[in-house]
Structure 1
Amino acid sequence: MAEASESIEGPSLAGLLVRFWHPHFLVVDKPSGLLSQPGLGDAQSDSLITRVQAVRPELRLVHRLDRDTSGLLLLARDQASLKVLGGLFADRKVHKLYAADVHGHPEALSGSVRLPLARLSARPPRYGPHREGRTCLTLWRCAQRGTNRSRLWLAPRTGRSHQLRAHLAAIGYPVIGDPIYAAPAHGSCLDRLYLHALGLSFADPFSGQRIRVRSPLPWP
C-alpha cells in the first residue's frame, strides 16, 4: 500500500469548502440543514448536489448524509468513478468516523450497538429497532463527559438511514438537537443536530494510496 495522503484543501465550490481534490473525486463539507439531494416538492429542491452541479454538472453523489448532519461527503467527478467509488461503500471498504454530542453519560467508555433497524414512520422518517429490520452495527467510544452530556466518537460498520441517530436514541443517549429522536425535554429544538461526519478513510482505487480526509467539529 502506498503512503497515506492527508486532506488537501482547495477553493470552495458553490459555497462549500472542498476538503480534498483528486482527479477522480473530491470531498466537500456539507453544512447542517442542507439536503444531500433534492426531495419532493419545491420546499426540498435545494440540496448540496444541485448546488455543485450548477457549477460542475458532471459531479455525482457517492453517498449521502442526513439533512441535519454536517460533515464530509464524497463526490465522483464522472460516471465511471461513481461506479468504482460506490463499490467501495457497497463492500464496506470506506471507514467513516463521526462525532456526536449526546444527552447523558454512558457507563462504559466504549461499546457497540447491534440493533436491527426498520422504518417506523414516514413523515417524519423515523427508524427504530425491529426484529425484521436490517442488520446494523455501530461502534462507539466516549471522548468527553460534561455536566449532562457526553461526546462520542462513532464508527458505523453499516450504512443504514438514520443509523447513528436511531441507535443512540435506542440505548438512551439521543443526539443533542435531534428533532426526531430526542424528546422536547432533552432540548431537541436547538439550532442544529450535534452530529458531524469528521473522518473518511479508504484506499484510493485508482492509485492504491491511502486517503484520509478530516473535517473539524463545527461547534466548541
Structure 2
Amino acid sequence: MLKEVARQNVPLADIGKRIDVFLASEMDYTRSYIKKLILEGLVLVNDDTVKPNYKLKENDKITVNIPEAEKIDIEPENIPLDILYEDEDIIVINKPQGMVVHPAPGNYSGTLVNALLYHCKNLSGINGVLRPGIVHRLDKDTSGVMVVAKNDKAHLSLASQIKDRKILKKYVAVVEGVIKEDEGYVEAPIGRHHADRKKMAVVEDGRYALTLYKVLERFKNNTYVEAVIKTGRTHQIRVHMAYIGHPIVGDTVYGYKKQKFNLKGQVLHARLLGIIHPAKNEYMEFEAPLPEYFVKLIEKIRLTEM
C-alpha cells in the first residue's frame, strides 16, 4: 500500500535543481531515501518516472509515493516524566538530556513516546504510531521544554503556529570562545551536508534559517548565551553557532572532537516555550529550569577563572 505524500508544482526558484536534492530539502527524509524511492519508480514527474539527477523544469508536477511503514507496536513504559503543565489538550514536558523523543528503527524503547503512552490515555494520532502527539522535537542530548498534543485538534493548532512562526522558543547554551558583541543574529540557509548526509550544514540550497543570540555571561574561553530560533530547522542552533566559529560545548558533531569537560552531549537547553493554547486561545509560557549538568558546568568554568 502506497501513500501519496506530495503532489506539487515546482517553485520558480527551484527550477534547474536535481530532483533528489529538491525533495530532500522539502521533505523529512534523507537524500539517500529519496534516491531509493526514485530508483524504485515511486517518484513521478508529470506522471513519468525519472532518474535521481533529473533537473527540474518549469511547470513540472511532482508526485511522491511513500510505502507504508511496517506496523510496529510501541509499548508504554513506566518512565518518570518531569511534567511542567497538563490539561485535556496538551502536556508540557521538561525532557532530560539523553532521552530520545520518539522510537526509530533499532530504538523502540526508552523514548519520550514510550513514557507518554504510559502516562496519557490519549495522544494525537496525526504523526502515526511512532510519533503520537509529537509536534516538535529536541535532539537526544538537548534538554528542556517540549509541548505534546493530546488530540488531533490541538496537534493541528500547534503545527500551524510552528509553520507560521508564532511559537516562541528560547534556548540557552555554553559555546566555545568569547563572543565580543552583546547580541547578534545568524541568517544562513540550512540543509543536508553535501558530504555527510547524517549532518546538517549551512548550504546555498538549504532552507531559510534565522537564529538570534544574546550574551548572558562571558568567561575566559567560553560564552553563556541565549538563543531564540525564528525557524525550526534540524540542529539549527548547533549548526549556526558552529558556522560563526562558536560551536556549543560538548557538541562533537559540529564542534570539537576533543572535549575538555566530561560531558554526555552538547550544553544546550530549551529554557522557554511560548504558545497559544489550542483550546483556550490564550498565550501561555512554560519554563524549564536549568538542569544539573548545565549548572555544574557553569560553576566549574567560574571556579577555573578564580
TM-score normalized with structure 1 length: 0.87
Q: Counterpart of 1:50? A: 114
Is 1:72 paired with 2:161? no
Report which of the two structures shows the higher radius of gyration computed on alpha carbons: 2
**Contact 1:103-1:186 at 8 Å conserved across structures:** no
Q: Name whichever structure is richer in strand by fraction.
A: 1
Aligned with 2:156 (options 73, 80, 83): 83
TM-score by length of 2: 0.64
SS in 2 for 1:87: helix
Letter in 2 for 1:34: M
Deviations 1:84-112 (A, max 9, x none): 22111111110000000011111111000
Structure whose residues are more often helix by fraction: 2
What is the aligned partner in structure 2 of residue 113 from structure 1? Answer: 186
Partner of 1:33: 98
Question: How large is the Cα RMSD of the aligned pairs?
Answer: 1.7
- Matching of residues 87-98 of structure 1 within 5 Å: 87-98=160-171
| Distance change in 2, residues 1:187/1:181 (3 Å) | farther
- Structure 1 distance, partners of 2:261, 2:242, is 12
Tell me what 1:6 maps to.
none
Question: 1:59-108 deviations in whole A, cap 9, x for unaligned?
Answer: 21121111110001101111221112211111111000000001111111
- Distance in 1 (CA, whole Å) between partners of 2:253 and 2:136 is 22
Counterpart residue identity of residue 186, structure 2:
V
Q: Does 2:232 align with 1:159?
A: yes
Size of the aligned set, in residue pairs, is 205
Identity %: 31
Deviations 1:177-220 (A, max 9, x none): 11201122444862332000000112223223220100111121
Q: For 1:47 and 1:14, how far apart are their aligned partners in 2?
A: 9
| 1:21 to 2:86 alignment | yes
Paired residue secondary structure (2:84) = strand
Contact 1:176 1:187 (8 Å CA) reproduced: no
Q: Which runs of 4+ in 1 moved over 6 A?
A: none
Quick check: 45-54 or 63-72, which moved more? 45-54
- In 1, Cα distance between equivalents of 2:260 and 2:254: 11
- 2:236 aligned partner, one-letter code: Q
Preserved contact between residue 252 and residue 258 of structure 2 (Cα < 8 Å): no
Moved more, 96-105 or 198-207: 198-207
Contact 2:96 2:142 (8 Å CA) reproduced: yes
- Is residue 260 of structure 2 the alignment partner of residue 195 of structure 1? no
Q: Which amino acid aligns with 1:79?
A: D
Distance 1:65 1:161, change over 3 A: same
Corresponding position of 1:5: none
In structure 2, what is the equivalent of residue 4 of structure 1? none
Worse-matched range after superposition: 182-191 or 127-136 = 182-191
| 1:179–1:188 CA contact under 8 A, matched in 2 | no
1:206 and 2:282 matched: no
Structure 2 gaps, min length 5: 1-77, 124-132, 296-306
| Contact map agreement 2:81 2:115 (CA 8 A) in 1 | no
Given that 1:115 and 1:137 are in contact with CA atoms closer than 8 Å, whether structure 2 keeps it comes out as yes
Distance in 1 (CA, whole Å) between partners of 2:276 and 2:103 is 30
- Residue by residue, what CA displacement relative to the aligned partner does 1:132-180 show, whole Å, maximum 9, x if unpaired? 0111000000001112111110000000000000000010111111120
Q: Which has the higher contact order (CA 8 A, sep 6+)?
A: 1
